[in-house]
Amino acid sequence: MTAIITASELAQQLAGGAPPVLLDVRWQLSVAKAAGAPAFDGRAAYAAGHIPGAVFVDLDRELAAAPGAHGRHPLPDLAEFGAAMRRAGVSAGRPVVVYDGGQGWAAARAWWLLSWTGHPDVRVLDAGLPSWRGALSTEEAVPAEGDFAPVPGAAGLLDADGAAALARTGVLLDARAGERYRGEVEPIDRVGGHIPGAVSAPTTENVGPDGRFLPAAELRDRFKALGVSEDTEVGVYCGSGVSGAHEVLALAVAGIPAALYVGSWSEWSSDPSRPVATGADPQ
């Protein structure tokens, strides 16, 4: 089973006798919000038109806890997350497909959380809503209550200490834009730069101009060039555990398991005692 699904495959499944649960997780990182401008309203976008049957999921409220010491998008309370997923109709025995506005970051965050907490069949719509060629609906879906009970996995999650160690013993990939990694700009967090030993690997380079993931073989070649081999332990971080989930998804498409440091740079950089590297050199 692949971690992604095409729009044509999704259309076939939705027309079948056992359609997947469909989650709309439209969200955007808003630097304008940090400057006081209105944030992107995913619920309003959903109300204006969504794939028929999709249920809206709020990334900030249902896929993350409130910002704090553990970053801007820390792990949600798992009981609350489970309740939100059940309200959305998610059950352990029914496939789930997640989509967003096309960037893939928010959908990947939902995919990662559901997968890490034990759902066996979750996929992301490749290239998101823009790839959908069918009609859209403005009717809010009200699904039957699901039965999904999240159980966190024993692997797949890093904390700050684990990320620091992995940067020395394996490969820790920094999914942010290169200029943030190098510390040339930092529009959101306290200081720019990267975790010492981390390798710059912008997640935007995992997709083509159409927003679709590169073929698995090309992704494997990319990650190999960044130091990932068959026996390498791999971790990923970003600004707050959202775009990093997209890189974990790209690695999964390539057949490479990876852990996510959810707190990411927003947590790491908030503690002045943690070391910060700048420039193109991982060290």
* Residue 143 backbone phi and psi in degrees, to 5: -80, 165
β-sheet with 157-158: strand ranges across:
157-158, 259-261, 234-237, 171-174, 199-200
Counted residue by residue, the chain has a size of 283
Parallel, antiparallel, or unpaired for β 122-125 and 21-24? unpaired
* Alpha-carbon gap, residue 256 to 248, rounded angstroms: 9
Q: Is 261 helix (H, G, I), strand (E, B) or coil?
A: strand
Where does the chain have alpha helices with state H?
Answer: 7-15, 31-34, 42-48, 59-62, 78-87, 105-116, 160-169, 178-182, 216-225, 243-253, 264-268
Structure tokens at 98: 């997640």
CB atoms within 10 A of CB 19: 15
Asked if 107 contacts 99 with a C-beta cutoff of 8 angstroms, the reply is: yes
Block residue for tokens 């904390």:
159
Give which of 86, 116, 149 is closest to 244, Cα–Cα.
116
Block residue for tokens 């959380």:
113
Q: What angle do CA 243, 127, 32 make, to 5 degrees?
A: 45
185 as an active site residue: the answer is no
Catalytic residue among 171, 238, 248, 262: 238
Task: Look up residue 200 and give its DSSP letter.
Answer: E
Q: What angle do CA 216, 219, 220 make, to 5 degrees?
A: 85
Question: Catalytic residues, which ones?
Answer: 238
